[in-house]
Structure 1
Amino acid sequence: MPHAPYPMPHALGDDALILVSNLSLLLLLLQIPATAILLSRLFKGPTRHPPIQPQQPTPDILGSVSVVVPTLNEALRISPLLTGLSKQSYEVREAIVVDSRSQDGTPELVKAAQQQDPRFRVFTDDPLPLGWVGRPWALHNGFLQSSPESEWFLGMDADTVPHPGLVAGLVQTAKAQGYDLVSLSPQFILKYPGECLLQPALLMTLLYRFDPAGVNTEQPERVMANGQCFLCRRSVLAAVDGYTSASGSFCDDVTLARYIAAQGFKVGFLDGAKVLKVRMYEGAIETWKEWGRSLDLKDASPRAQIWGDLWLLSAVQGLPLIILLSYGLLALLFPQPSLLPLNLLLGLNIFLLVIRFAMLLAIAPSYDRTTAKAGWLFWLSPLADPLAVLRIFLSAFRTPKEWRGRKYS
């Protein structure tokens, strides 16, 4: 009889079956506790504060907000922010742009906006002192330059697009809820295929590690914040000496928010997708390089927490796709008897993947894909989860040497 050109695959031997069974048990021991932690956080979702809505100002917040924007070569991105701030009403006393010696005409754009709206002003911060990162240094200088008559300090990034009614809605919510500091998660603007795939996977690393936006977090070390829209009582910021506690942090927003929470002040992180948009980075490569540097939050977290977060992300975000693909390949190549640990592992990771797609559906309103090329790749972003988790690992063990055009020793 003619021989088959290729040998037929054989069932796994007894030793291999024992190995697969033991490996399945090990993975279950790794994943089950992490899944329980994830579920405990997701179950808080129904109790969260609803998204911030744009509002009309009331007379009691007249001139109560000083906006401070740090800039370094932001000429290509800052115009939507300037336009959006000019549409805020009388609650904004002033809008101060602190420029770190831009070479692209950023200060000139602000001066042009000042001709239309006298609330704008721009000044250059002092040379960067040793031990400070550029962004918190600029914000600290802006705080020192802001009017002591303002009740609130609002830090905003140059890449944000505020809707009319943002500041009034934010201040009124902070007053009604008794927040001393509150920041917002924005709606992200996606444009290119690579970032449609990668950016949601990177964002998911935050959603897995922390409570949903709108949930009051009791532990200061688990507080989340976003410096793109960061409102703080001026008296509180004065009490903690401005941004001094976050001077050397590459995630100064979270570092400062956690420090303020540890002093006993009420800190909140709310959904701002209906009042704030942001175009953070141009394409997947820049997103990987720039955003990935700070997503580990190592400057705001003790080492044990970093390791715990890496375990959690590996277990519930990085491994499910890899395990399911490996199982499919194993089943295809090696017919085998049913193994209880392997079947349990398969069921758990199908469950985790279902959760992942459910969360993707939940965060869809946090993305503006109207002008995106191949925006449908957003729905395939779970395929990039192992890469996103790898990026957090890489960042957790590296100290940034360059940030937004500045080099650090």
Structure 2
Amino acid sequence: MTPAPLVILLVVQVCLLLVLLARLMPGYSRRPPVAPRTTPRTDTTVTVMVTTLNEVNRVGPCLEGLMQQDAPLLEVLVVDSRSTDGTRELVQAASARDPRIRLVTDEPLPPGWVGKVWALENGLREAKGEWVLGIDADTVPAPGLVGAVIDAVEQDRYDVASFSPQFRDQTAAERFVQPAMLCTLVYRCGAAGATQPPPDRVLANGQCFIARRDLLLANGGYSVSRASWCDDVTLARHLAANGARVGFLDGSRIIQVRSYASLGEMWREWGRSFDLKDATPLWRRWLDVALVWAVQALPLPVLLALGAGMLTGSVDLATSPNAMLWKALLLVNGSALFIRLFMLVALSGSYAERGATFWLSWLADVAAAWRLTLSTAKRPKAWRGRAFQSLASS
């Protein structure tokens, strides 16, 4: 008698594997990583906005990288939320070296706003550039970044674009788990640099996010994402749905990031929002959870179980009445595992250091799927030291 649960698993895996292939296929023709621009350009202007709250231990390399930028960089607005750890003094010292850098203090945080989004809104009111480029304090811009992002958006006529970074200085434990979590994003939304997806599948990275200033102002600035835990994706999808051409490109050659100090911090902080809540309907998030479990997390356990069954004789590929089922499960799960290992190679350029734990990160897929499930099931109440009770209950 055919085991009904295994038949159901097989049908679900086949359907979701086809969905995954449809999402990944455009990646075969994706653009290569954006290269730094080696010469200035003076035909446009860019305002860079960096939001800070007690970032003294991280913002220094970011400011050093921004000071190395040529035109079209017009100004750097560091929008600070009343830091008390020396961040403001560090920014003022940088401003003395480069007058393009200016410290701006945002207004008190109003109810219903996430702190970073409110800081961006305050910066937008001060910005003078034709383009506004949001850069996170924990990033390290390469020389030529500002010119490179303008080249990239003009090449494909984007109104808005963001750029995936290269991760650096991660611990061995982070390099084991974080790539598995990152792979779930690719499985859910597609690869950076691929053909523009539908608006409700657009992906974005707020660590390096550029948009036309006039477009932002015409669409309400950052207010659309004021209460969003994934404000970058919420804003990008809103703009795409309203007719803007939005790109998500590979920026691994122009920006590096060290977002978290440890595996535990990454698990808590990124794990709270990487299900893309507030930008994705709940039903679709749960469908994505099912996809990640079916074609990323479960194939290896299924293959191991089948292998154990063949060793013990409970799985017979030759004479058993269920031989076709066993073979189909082997084919589908073997194909899914092959795709996963291929994705590991495709993602390798996004990591400055790799090592053994990176190459074994596919073994952490069950943990990544579990973290995605937790994120989808629970709405967070805090983000990087700020509590947002009103957002948690909204």
Coarse TM-score class (shorter-chain normalised): over 0.9
2:392 maps to: none
In 2, the alpha carbon distance for the partners of 1:218 and 1:365 equals: 22
Shift of 1:123: 2.0
Shift of 1:130: 0.8
Could you tell me the percent identity over the aligned residues?
A: 48
1:44 equivalent in alignment to 2:23: no
144, 150, 156: which one aligns with 1:177: 156
The amino acid that maps onto 1:241 is G
CA-to-aligned-CA distance 1:302-337 (integer Å, 9 cap, x gap): 122212211111111121122122223333445443
The amino acid that maps onto 1:177 is D
193, 199, 203: which one aligns with 1:220: 199
Alpha carbons of structure 1 residues 190 and 322: separation in structure 2 relative to 1, 3 Å: farther
300, 311, 314: which one aligns with 1:321: 300
1:15 maps to: none
241, 249, 269: which one aligns with 2:228: 249
CA-to-aligned-CA distance 1:360-381 (integer Å, 9 cap, x gap): 0111111011xx7xx3110000
1:57 maps to: 40
In 1, the alpha carbon distance for the partners of 2:277 and 2:300 equals: 26
In terms of Rg, which structure is larger? 1
Alpha carbons of structure 1 residues 54 and 324: separation in structure 2 relative to 1, 3 Å: same
In 2, the alpha carbon distance for the partners of 1:262 and 1:382 equals: 34
1:394 equivalent in alignment to 2:370: no
Shift of 1:71: 0.9
CA-to-aligned-CA distance 1:152-172 (integer Å, 9 cap, x gap): 000010011110011101112
364, 377, 382: which one aligns with 1:384: 364
CA RMSD in angstroms comes to 1.3
CA-to-aligned-CA distance 1:42-62 (integer Å, 9 cap, x gap): 22122222221111222213x
In 1, the alpha carbon distance for the partners of 2:384 and 2:11 equals: 41
Cα pair 1:190 1:196 within 8 Å, conserved = no
Shift of 1:271: 0.4
In 2, the alpha carbon distance for the partners of 1:39 and 1:97 equals: 42
In 2, the alpha carbon distance for the partners of 1:112 and 1:220 equals: 42
Cα pair 2:41 2:71 within 8 Å, conserved = no
In 2, the alpha carbon distance for the partners of 1:318 and 1:65 equals: 42
* Structure 1 SS opposite 2:298: helix
Segments of 5+ residues of structure 2 without an aligned counterpart are 318-322, 390-394
1:196 maps to: 175
17, 42, 47: which one aligns with 1:35: 17
CA-to-aligned-CA distance 1:348-398 (integer Å, 9 cap, x gap): 1111111111110111111011xx7xx311000001001001101100121
Alpha carbons of structure 1 residues 336 and 313: separation in structure 2 relative to 1, 3 Å: closer
1:11 maps to: none
How does 1:365-380 map onto structure 2 within 5 Å?
Answer: 365-369=349-353, 375-380=355-360
1:273 maps to: 252
How does 1:110-129 map onto structure 2 within 5 Å?
Answer: 110-129=91-110
Shift of 1:216: 3.0
TM-score (norm 2): 0.94
82, 85, 96: which one aligns with 2:66: 85
- The more displaced of 336-345 and 255-264 is 336-345
How does 1:69-108 map onto structure 2 within 5 Å?
Answer: 69-108=50-89
How does 1:330-345 map onto structure 2 within 5 Å?
Answer: 330-338=309-317, 339-345=323-329
1:131 maps to: 112
The amino acid that maps onto 1:32 is V
In 2, the alpha carbon distance for the partners of 1:286 and 1:295 equals: 14
